[in-house]
């Protein structure tokens, strides 16, 4: 379906390099790209006179670049509201998560992920990074197409109308000491990194909305002598490489006990860190770890609502940013899918950690949620409202009960996913008047979650 040229007239738009939104901005798009950006009240006139405004589509409210959800496990959405009453910690939550993982196949995963990605579209998310390790049948055997589960996720994103970076995850062992995968973990494993690389190399979706990257599940799941194979695979393809890092103090302790160094130091030693690498969480880094991440220009994806949900702790966001680490955001376990909440949590959690206010300004939170997030997923041409960029436009109401009376610059401290009224992805309208145009999101979430929920 061709994307026709369109003129949008945003009441406010947040343009790159501005500390706050600009009023009355004409945004022209064609063929999925932004072809012109003209602020009308800055003394400039519309390119072809005021008559061009007559056919412009008005966007009341605040228009943002597309939001990037850098860390997702789509199937975790099936756990929302089902684990909150219980006691325990990350590890007991993980047992519940495995029970859902055990029930997924390519058809049920397509249905669930399609609904979850459509929920993301409703929240203004134009691109998702899926950290994908549900590769095989529950007993560990391959499907007829060994990448059937990955293909289901690519198709799900197409149905939902958002872009996807499939981070094909290498997951080989159950602990830092090399324990074999057992029970529900068997379907995650490829045996060794060389076999992981062969399977990942065989998956080459040609859909324009999708690209493939790599992931090391964690230092618990990939033996040290095989980390280099995954890193090299990603480097050869200039593909994004993601890794769960220091989400739990226990991971740091085990890694020190087995390898005599922190997980970050181990990854650095085996070539995993670098400008195309994103460490997810980094909740418990040492100051030496932060220096290693910063010097190697490795990014960090913070997932504050999940870290809160799983009792993981609060990562040192400001010290990491000061070390030169590029921050991005993810909704990870999808206890909440709302990047406004993730973004303000970066500032608010830092206040709780330090008992001081004012660590991140609104423009820094915007960059984490948009351009730096897209860059972490390998889409460097997205996440900014500027000529030549991908035509992603996310419009937020400024007249809801939550946002009325709030200055546009305060949107990240007031708005929520429910305030997103229109979403354009690569020039196509995916959400209008707060509704997804092709997916009945609540109905499909209910049905697909029921189908995979243990009795
Ligand atoms: Zn994760």
Distance 28 CA to ligand 1 centre (A): 37
Q: How buried is 159 (Cβ within 10 angstroms: 0-12 exposed, 13-18 middle, 19+ buried)?
A: middle
In the block, tokens 């997205």 appear at 382
Q: Running DSSP on this structure, what letter comes out for residue 14? A: -
Say how far apart CA 160 and CA 122 lie, in whole Å. 10
Name 173's bridge partners: 180
Contact present, 76 and 134 (Cβ < 8 Å): no
Distance 53 CA to ligand 1 centre (A): 45
pTM for the full predicted model: 0.96
68 alpha-carbon distance from chain centroid: 5
Looking at residue 52, what is its pLDDT? 65
Tens digits of pLDDT across the chain (455 residues): 457 779 999 999 999 989 999 999 999 999 999 999 999 975 555 555 556 677 899 999 999 999 999 999 999 999 998 876 666 777 777 888 888 888 999 999 999 999 999 999 999 999 999 999 999 999 999 999 999 999 999 999 999 999 999 999 999 999 999 999 999 999 999 999 999 999 999 999 999 999 999 999 999 999 999 999 999 999 999 999 999 999 989 999 999 999 999 999 999 999 999 999 999 999 999 999 999 999 999 999 999 999 998 888 999 999 999 999 999 999 999 999 999 999 999 999 999 999 999 999 999 999 999 999 999 999 999 999 999 999 999 999 999 999 999 999 999 999 999 999 999 999 999 999 999 999 999 999 999 999 998 77
Contact present, 121 and 167 (Cβ < 8 Å): no
Distance 348 CA to ligand 1 centre (A): 22
Strands 57-64 and 393-396 turn out to be: antiparallel
Helix (H, G, I), strand (E, B) or coil at 282: coil
Distance 71 CA to ligand 1 centre (A): 6
Helix (H, G, I), strand (E, B) or coil at 178: coil
Looking at residue 53, what is its pLDDT? 75
The two tokens of residue 293 are: 């991440």
Distance 131 CA to ligand 1 centre (A): 7
For residue 102, give the nearest of 80, 75, 122 by alpha carbon.
75
Distance 244 CA to ligand 1 centre (A): 6
Contact present, 59 and 14 (Cβ < 8 Å): no
For residue 99, give the nearest of 185, 34, 181, 163 by alpha carbon.
185
Say how far apart CA 179 and CA 181 lie, in whole Å. 7
Say how far apart CA 186 and CA 141 lie, in whole Å. 9
Q: How buried is 112 (Cβ within 10 angstroms: 0-12 exposed, 13-18 middle, 19+ buried)?
A: buried
Say how far apart CA 266 and CA 288 lie, in whole Å. 12
Looking at residue 309, what is its pLDDT? 87
Q: How buried is 300 (Cβ within 10 angstroms: 0-12 exposed, 13-18 middle, 19+ buried)?
A: buried
For residue 285, give the nearest of 312, 257, 258 by alpha carbon.
312
Looking at residue 98, what is its pLDDT? 86
> Which residues have CB under 8 Å from 48's CB, separation 6+?
none
Name 8's bridge partners: 27, 57
For residue 393, give the nearest of 18, 45, 7 by alpha carbon.
7
Catalytic positions? 281, 332
**Distance separating the N- and C-terminal Cα atoms of the chain:** 42
Distance 51 CA to ligand 1 centre (A): 50
Distance 376 CA to ligand 1 centre (A): 15
Say how far apart CA 418 and CA 60 lie, in whole Å. 15
Distance 73 CA to ligand 1 centre (A): 6
Distance 154 CA to ligand 1 centre (A): 18
Looking at residue 51, what is its pLDDT? 63
Question: Secondary structure of 382-445 in the HEC alphabet?
Answer: CCCCCCCCECCEEEECCCCCCCCCCCHHHHHHCCCHHHEEEEEECCEEEEECCEECCCCHHHHH
Contact present, 186 and 403 (Cβ < 8 Å): no
């Amino acid at each position: 379906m061709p994307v026709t040229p369109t003129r949008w007239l945003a009441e406010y738009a947040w343009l790159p390099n501005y500390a706050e939104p600009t009023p009355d901005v004409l945004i022209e798009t064609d063929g999925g790209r932004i072809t012109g950006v003209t602020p009308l009240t800055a003394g400039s006139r519309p390119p072809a006179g005021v008559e061009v405004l007559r056919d412009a589509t008005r966007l009341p409210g605040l228009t943002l670049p597309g939001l990037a959800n850098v860390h997702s496990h789509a199937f975790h959405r099936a756990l929302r509201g089902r684990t909150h009453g219980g006691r325990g910690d990350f590890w007991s939550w993980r047992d519940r998560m495995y029970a859902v993982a055990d029930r997924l196949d390519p058809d049920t995963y397509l249905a669930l992920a399609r609904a979850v990605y459509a929920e993301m579209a409703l929240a203004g998310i134009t691109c998702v990074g899926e950290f994908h390790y549900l590769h095989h049948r529950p007993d560990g055997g391959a499907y007829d197409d060994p990448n059937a589960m990955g293909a289901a996720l690519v198709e799900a994103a197409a149905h939902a109308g958002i872009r996807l970076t499939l981070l094909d995850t290498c997951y080989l062992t159950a602990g830092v000491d090399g324990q074999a995968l057992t029970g529900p973990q068997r379907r995650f494993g490829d045996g060794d990194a060389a076999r992981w690389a062969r399977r990942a190399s065989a998956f080459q979706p040609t859909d324009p909305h999708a690209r493939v990257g790599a992931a090391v599940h964690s230092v618990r799941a990939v033996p040290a002598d095989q980390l280099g194979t995954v890193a090299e695979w990603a480097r050869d393809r200039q593909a994004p490489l993601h890794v769960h890092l220091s989400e739990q103090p226990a991971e740091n302790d085990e890694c020190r006990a087995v390898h005599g160094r922190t997980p970050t130091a181990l990854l650095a030693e085996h070539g995993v860190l670098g400008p195309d690498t994103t460490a997810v969480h980094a909740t418990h880094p040492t100051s030496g770890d932060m220096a290693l991440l910063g010097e190697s220009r490795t990014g960090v994806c913070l997932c504050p609502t999940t870290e809160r949900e799983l009792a993981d702790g609060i990562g040192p966001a400001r010290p990491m940013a000061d070390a030169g680490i590029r921050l991005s955001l993810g909704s990870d376990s999808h206890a909440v899918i709302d990047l406004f909440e993730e973004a303000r949590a970066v500032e608010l959690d830092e206040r709780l950690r330090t008992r001081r206010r004012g660590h991140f300004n609104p423009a820094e939170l915007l960059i984490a949620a948009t351009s730096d997030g897209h860059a972490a997923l390998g889409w460097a041409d997205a996440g900014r409202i500027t000529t030549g960029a991908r035509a992603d436009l996310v419009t937020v109401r400024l007249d809801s009960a939550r946002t009325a009376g709030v200055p546009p610059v305060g949107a990240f401290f007031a708005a929520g996913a429910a305030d997103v009224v229109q979403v354009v992805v690569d020039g196509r309208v995916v959400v209008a008047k707060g509704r997804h145009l092709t997916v009945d999101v609540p109905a499909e979430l209910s049905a697909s979650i029921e189908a995979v929920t243990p009795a």
